[in-house]
Amino acid sequence: MRRRSLWLSLLGLCIGLFVACSADPPVVSVGDAYTPYSAAGRNPYSGIHNKGSDTRADTWKQQYGRTVTSTGPSTASLNGNPMIRSSRPPSVLSVSPSSLYRQVKVKKDYLSYRARGRSRKKMTPRYITIHSTQNWKSGADALRHSKALKNGALGRLSWHYTVDEDLAVQHLPTNERGNHADFDGPGNRYSIGIEMCENPGNSRSRTLERTAKLAAWLCVKYDLPVSRVVPHYKWPRRGKNPPNKNCPHFLLSNGRPGAKWQGFLKAVDVYRRSMLGR
């Protein structure tokens, strides 16, 4: 009887370690209700809410569903005005890093220094890794993910920012390693992890817009080229099949970076160049 209890304890420990060391974000049942864009959107030009439409969502779908020109998207959110349309090259528009950072609306809510998700290992960021939460549960916004991380509900998983349509919550200092990409690989050792929320009612277009601004601000802060903004797909995961995850799935084409990913990078580049005055 004692031997059986010992084996059951060891099995439970192994399962716990597997979950704690997983490099995947939490996944909920795909049977949960999920809508990619909010039912009611705000007209970015008039500031009026329109039932059943999201102009920014339509714009992003049009831009990132196909190859984007070398000058980047024809729309950008600069100087506090969402999705400005301009016939001028994006480089003409400019904004200070501090102003763009304020637009991102970062809320710092760090994990406790003793939390399971804190590696307490220093990092010099060389990449910015973009994820999507794959959490389609109602209410699974940035603040809810922050609470789950702080409560230890996600084991040793951790990343630096969670972004939704309203704000970006920061969970870790950007000079500390998280556990979000590839176990103990370069994705964890050298990259800042950003998760984009997918809960019902959360506007994907506004989340993408905020994520692009945050990634651009981090590029300027750490003097990184836009090519160092990468999808989770870039980092192979030991023991997984396939090793390269389809993440963020809505920015990949057939599970790989393609035109939609390049479109996202163009948006990041618009914001980056706007801060550098180029």
- DSSP string over 84-121: EE-SS-GGG----HHHHHHHHTEEE-PPPTTSTT----
> Chain-wide mean pLDDT for the chain?
76
Find the range with the poorest average confidence among 31-45, 73-87, 201-215.
Answer: 31-45
The whole model's pTM is what?
0.72
Domains in the chain: ranges and CATH: 43-276 (3.40.80.10)
**Are 41 and 49 a contacting pair, CB within 8 Å?**
yes
Q: What is the pLDDT of residues 81-120, one digit of tens each?
A: 333 333 334 444 789 999 999 999 999 999 999 999 999 9
pLDDT of residue 64 exceeding 60, the answer is no
pLDDT at 272: 97
Q: What is the pLDDT of residues 145-188, one digit of tens each?
A: 999 999 989 899 999 999 999 999 999 999 999 999 988 899 99
The residue with greater pLDDT, 218 or 239, is 218
